[in-house]
Structure 1
Amino acid sequence: MYNYGTILFQTQEEDRYTRATEALRENSILKPPATSYHRAVSDDPQPSTLFEILRSFTTLARTLNLSETVEHLGVTRQTVRRHINTLQEIKGTKLFVLRNRRYLLTDAGARCYQDAAAILDQTDAWLHNRPCFARHDGRLEQISYTNENGHKFHAQQHHLGRLWQDAPALLRRSFEAWADAELQLEHPAMERIRSYRLVYRRLQDSWLCVEIGESSSYATWLGWEWAKSAVGRFSKDDPAGSEFDRFMSQAYHGVFAAGGARLDHIAGMIPRARNSEPLPVRFQRLLLGCRFPDGEPALALFVARTNTVEIAGLDPDEIPQMPPEFLMEEDI
């Protein structure tokens, strides 16, 4: 017996594939090169149109500003608009909306951004022989890598409902304050958890630290001197190094652009000072998209060190549990 629902779905998917193929061909992705293969490889170092489209999309998703995107990529406004329109046609959905002359990601755009950024990051890592961070199964991510010293790092995203299952009280209180504050950093509801937060502003392709709470995991782990000196610096300048920063900041872009929330369990070997021996650390991290008083987007991080982490494949002997004096499991 025929399953007419399945046949109809397959027909719709074939139609979408045909439209996407035609769009790709119109935008030169599937057209054969005008020159020989040898000349294309030796004389034309430019990436394919597909990667140009992904770069336009991910850059606009990060900046949410067309002028800044154009300046960063060195292309015209028309080129970026054409790339975005092409990608929207291929995906069959709107990725951005324009409100008050400012671009905002749609829900579909925020989801697509994660995948597009992963494609570009993994391609760049492969080309330059850098560690490639693995990603798994659709919407919830699992990422791991081993640094040049052989130290391993693992992160696994969890549903936000996990906050009320086994998250430290600090993260639950932070989420509640964020919801009450309606994303506003300076709202009175944020006062209770202000001393525990780390706040970043997006500056081109880097994360600029603008606030570090004295009770935050970063300040209590790396020390008062570092905390006071880190404001105004980029996240890649912390003692753990730029490679660790790339690992940690993988999730920042999507939360920052969409103004949402995200929970991760993380384990790794992290030093307490520059050039010192790394120690095993386990923690849960809550990322929250926020707003400065002028309406500009911000990213707030709340981290609680805890041995309660669930990461598939994590070897207990590889990153041992922390002693009680390092934990941040008390209520606030």
Structure 2
Amino acid sequence: MPLFESHAGFNITEDKLQIVELNYSNKFLLENVDEEFFSENWNVNFSEQKFINILQNSFDQLILRKPLKTDLVSFSLPHQVFKIFEIPYDKTLVSNDLLEHYKWEISELFPDYSPDDFVIRAIEVDKSGFRESKSVIIIAAQKSLLQHIHKFCVKNKLKLRFADNVHLAANSFVVIDNPKSKNDFFISLYTDSKSISLIASASNYPFFFKKLNLKDQSEIFDAILNLYDSVNNNGVDSSKALTNYIAGSFVDDLLLQKVKDEFDISLVKFNPFANINLSDEIDRDFLQSIDYNSFTAAAGIALRMI
């Protein structure tokens, strides 16, 4: 079996469905880039049927314009599907005891939820080599949404490979852009209409992950300062990051310049298509007209191999 097979990555935002489809034959080939707005903005409280219907309507429009060439798909999901937090942990505990500890923390931090409602992933921050803290980043995904995605795929005869957090999917491009970097760390920001998050990582291994909610975009500058202060307060000098990236929505030159002027931070927009060859079927004019940065998560999950 080839290391990489043709693969379509979908990114679900609050208001639209994005697709990046890739093929591979000696080199990556971009087959499709597109997006379709939902009939209404969705949230995690939607019923299974309502969520699938909204997703189906946008999916139908996408494949009407250009049918999929693959049945292998993956999804990047917005922050609202996840609970993300950091807690100390005892390395002497066995895995089952650790899982119970994580569930207990969820029950304490989010009393309106049952810990069994989540699929839990834990990342030990000290394994990065940049933090010594004996703590873990907990990324807990709501099982119900993952089940909805799976049912949608079964309905459309698609094979679901991965489902991941939107920022973790986008962060794949840190390694793609810096394949030979072994002793450096990077910072990436991800923005959407209601939140901004920061990941500090080395060799695609996150050792800091924090998300802040936004009432509106006017809060974004204070939020960026807050996030960088949080990195510094956890024993990492953010000024030593080799590159500071940004992806998502609402990322324009005015934002980048203001962050540079106010905080002396030079943010680099991800371009997920910079090093991918284009299929003859790709509409070049459309590709130049879109906000390519907003497709970083869809492209990142499409490039996911393991």
Q: TM-score, normalised by structure 2?
A: 0.23
More helix by share: 1
Greater share of strand: 2
Bigger RCO of structures 1 and 2 (CA < 8 A, at least 6 apart): 2
Q: TM-score, normalised by structure 1?
A: 0.22
